[in-house]
Structure 1
Amino acid sequence: MAKILFMSNVGLIIEERPADIGNFLVGRLLPFRGKRMVGPYIFIDHMGPVSLSEGENMDVAPHPHIGLSTLTYLFEGSIMHRDSLGTEMEIHPGAVNWMTAGKGIVHSERTPQRFRDLKKTIHGLQIWVALPKEMEDSEPTFHHVDQIDLPYWKDGDVSFRLIAGEAFGRKSAVPTYSKQFFLEIHSSSQQKLTIGHELFGEAGMYILEGSIESDGYVYEPKQILVAKEATLCEFTINANTTVYIFGGEPFPEERFIYWNFVATSNERIERAKEKWLNQEFDPVPGETDFVPLPKDKVRPASTSERKE
C-alpha cells in the first residue's frame, strides 16, 4: 500500500509486496501502480534474506531480457551468473554484475556448485535500468565490477559508496548509458544529511536497515520513499542505518514492460515474445532448461498506466 504525503518532500511511499520468482518470495518495490519508474529505474526486487538448507538452492533457469540493464548487488551469499555471451561469473557481496540486454540476451542465476550441499543465505537487490531508446538494438554486454573498484568515501560517521552512475563529483566504474545514480549511505550515528544539490532528475530512497526522519515523520525498512524534488533531498539518518538512493533523468518516451522485456513499443515486446516462444534467442552454453513465457500475462503494461 502506498501513502502520499503533501507536507514534506516525500511525495510517495512504496512498501514491499511479496512476489514469487519460483524458488522463493521476494519483496517487489518497482514497478508500482502509482509510480512505475524513478528516473531510468524500472524494476527493483529486495531478495531475501532467505536461508536455504543443504540441497536447497537458487536455480533461476535461462530466461531472456531486452531493452534494459540488470544490476545485481548482494549483501549476503553468492550467485553464479551464466549468459548467452558465454559469461560465467560468480558475484559476491559488495560487487556489481551489470548485464546490458540491448536487442536480447539470455542468462541463468544459480547457487555456485561448491555451496549446493551446504546451508547458505541469499540477500540482495535485483534491479533493472531501462535503456535509452537509441540503445534498444545494441549488442548485449556484461560487466563485473569488484567492490574495491566502486567509489567509496567517508564524512565523519557517514560512509558513501557510489554503486552506479554519477554523484558527488565521482563516477562509478559500472558502464551506465543514461544520467543516473545509485548510492549506498550508511551511518553509525544520527546525522542530518543534505544531499539534494548532488542529485538530479527523480530520486527514490530504499531503507535497508535502521530508520530515517524527514519533516517529523519516521520511516523504517522495506519502503521506497520517492522525493517530490530530488534537489531538496534532506533528512536525518539515524544510528546504524543503511539506505540506497537511486534515480536520475527520466526518459522522454514511456516504457512498456512485459515479464522480462522492457521496450518503447508493444511491437518490440511482441517480437521478443515470439522469439522466445520459438527459442530463437542465443542459448546459455551448457544449459538446456529454460523459463517458459508466462501464460497469465495478456499484454504489456505501459509506464504511463496506473494499473499494476
Structure 2
Amino acid sequence: MTLQTITPTTHDLGDFKVRRTLPSRGRTMVGPFVFVDQFGPAQFDLGGGMDVRPHPHINLSTVTYLFDGAIDHRDSLGTFATIRPGAVNLMTAGSGIVHSERSPEAERQRSAGGHQGRISGMQTWLALPDGKEEIDPAFQHIGADDLPILEDSGLKARIIMGELWGKTAPTTQHAQTIYADILLDAGTSVPIEAGADERAVLVALGDAELDGDALERHTLYVLAPGEAMTLRATSDARVMLLGGEAFATQRHVWWNFVSSSRERIAEAREAWKAKAFPDVPGDSEERIPIPEGQPKTVSYP
C-alpha cells in the first residue's frame, strides 16, 4: 500500500515547467532524496535553450537524468560534460561547489534552424549522510551503456543508482540509495522490491497502477516499508522508482543549500553573497544571486 501521496508544485520557467514533489510540507525526505523535480517535456522557442547560470551547493549530491534533449554541465572543479538521455550526472557538492547547466550550442543551432530543441527529465538531490556532509567535491558521469538494464517483453528498466532486481549500478553512493527509470508497455508489470528502508514511485509519463490502485501522473507515492508490490502500466508508461536508507537526523533545505545544520546554511549563504565560492571555468560571467525573501526551495521543519 502507499503510505503517503505528495502532489507536485508546478513552477513555470518560461520555456518549460518544473513539477516539484520534494521537499513538501508533508514530507522532506525519502531515503536520502531531499529534492525531486520533473522538468518538461517541452520544446524551446526558436534559437532558445536551457540557461541555468552558475550557482552553489553544499552538503548534497545532485543527480541529473534526461528522457530527452541534452545539457552541458560545467562546475568549479573544471568539469565539462554533456549529458544525454539514459546517462547520469552525479555531482557531489560536499564542502561546496558551483555549477551551471546550459543547452549545448549544437542544440541551440538546431533550434535556430527551425528544429525546436526538446528537454525532459529529472533533477534530484541526495542529502549526504552524517560524517560525510563536508567531503571533497566530486563529479561522476556514467554513460547510458554503462548503467545496468532489466529487460523483458514490454519492460526496460535502467538502474541509475543502487541495487535492484539483482543488478547494481556503478554510480557512487554515499548513503544506500535506489533509483531506477522504468519503461513499461501497456499491460506490462514489474515487481517493486521491499529491500530499501524508504521507497517512492512517480509516474513521469503515461499511466500506471500499483497493486491495482491507479497512480496520478507526476505525483510522488511513498510506499509502506517492507512490502513487495507490483507496478503495472495501463498505457505505455515511464515510472521513476527512488529511495534508500532512512536518515536518523533531519536535513534542512534553503535555496540550493542542504545541511543538518542551519548555521552551515547561513554560512554558505553569506559566502555566496561575498563571492567566496570558486568560479566555474568557461562560465564565470554570470551567477544566480541569493533570492530576496523566501526561496522556492525550502524545507518545512
Q: Structure 2 length as normaliser, TM-score?
A: 0.92
Identify the range of structure 1 (185-194 vs 68-77) with the bigger mean alpha-carbon deviation.
Answer: 185-194
Q: Take 1:48 and 1:302, find their aligned partners in 2: how far apart are those partners?
A: 24
Q: Which amino acid aligns with 2:117?
A: K
Q: Give the SS at the match of 1:282.
A: coil
One-letter amino acid matched to 1:297 = Q
* 2:179 equivalent in structure 1: 182
Quickly say closer, same or farther: Cα 1:173–1:247, change in 2 above 3 A: same
Letter in 2 for 1:134: G
Q: 2:136 aligns to what?
A: 139
CA distance in 2, matches of 1:189, 1:51: 26
Q: Aligned in 2, Cα 1:76/1:302: closer, same or farther, shift over 3 Å?
A: closer
Residue 74 of structure 1: aligned partner: 66
For residues 169 and 217 of structure 1, do their structure 2 counterparts lie closer, same or farther at Cα, with a shift above 3 Å needed?
closer
Matches within 5 A, 1:17-96: 17-20=9-12, 24-96=16-88
Rate the CA distance shift 1:230–1:282 in 2: closer, same or farther, 3 A: farther
Q: Any conservation in 2 of the 1:63–1:291 contact (CA below 8 Å)?
A: yes
242-251 or 289-298, which moves further after superposition?
289-298
Q: List structure 1 segments (4+ residues) > 6 angstroms apart after TM superposition.
A: none
Identity of aligned residues (%): 39
Amino acid at match of 1:138: I
SS for the counterpart of 1:270 is helix
> Which has the larger displacement, 221-230 or 99-108?
221-230
Q: Return closer, same or farther for 1:130/1:94 CA change in 2, 3 Å cut-off.
A: same
Q: Check 1:301–1:160 CA distance in 2 against 1; reply closer, same or farther (3 A cut).
A: closer
Instruction: Write the letter of the residue equivalent to 1:30.
Output: L
Equivalent of 1:122 in 81, 105, 119: 119
Deviates more, 1:203-212 or 1:122-131: 203-212
Change (3 A) 1:52 1:164: same
Corresponding residue for 1:222?
218
Q: Report Cα offsets for 1:135-168 as digits up to 9, x if no partner.
A: 1111100010000000012233322210111222
Please report how far the alpha carbon of residue 89 of structure 1 lies from its aligned counterpart in structure 2 after TM superposition: 0.8
Distance of aligned partners of 1:289 and 1:86 in 2 relative to their CA distance in 1, 3 Å threshold: same
Contact 2:15–2:43 (8 Å) recurs in 1 = no
CA distance in 1, matches of 2:224, 2:2: 6
Task: Report the Cα offset of residue 194 of structure 1.
Answer: 3.2
Deviations along 1:47-90, one digit per CA (max 9) or x if unpaired, are 11121122222111100000111011111111111100001111
Query: Corresponding residue for 2:233?
Result: 237
The alignment partner of 1:116 has SS state of helix
Distance 1:230 1:44, change over 3 A: farther
Closer, same or farther in 2 for the Cα pair 1:74/1:214, shift >3 Å? closer
Structure 2: give runs of 5+ residues left out of the alignment: none
| Aligned-residue RMSD, C-alpha | 2.0
Question: In the aligned structure 1, how far is the partner of 2:180 from the partner of 2:196?
Answer: 13
Instruction: Give the letter for the 2:56 counterpart.
Output: P
**Residue of structure 2 aligned with 1:292, choices 275, 289, 292:** 289
Contact in 2 for aligned 1:166/1:179 (Cα 8 Å): no
Which structure 1 residue ranges, 5 or more long, are not aligned?
1-8
> Contact 2:211/2:230 (CA < 8 Å) preserved in 1?
no
Distance 1:148 1:216 in 2: 33
Alpha-carbon distance in 2 for matches of 1:142, 1:59: 20
Report the count of equivalent residues. Answer: 295
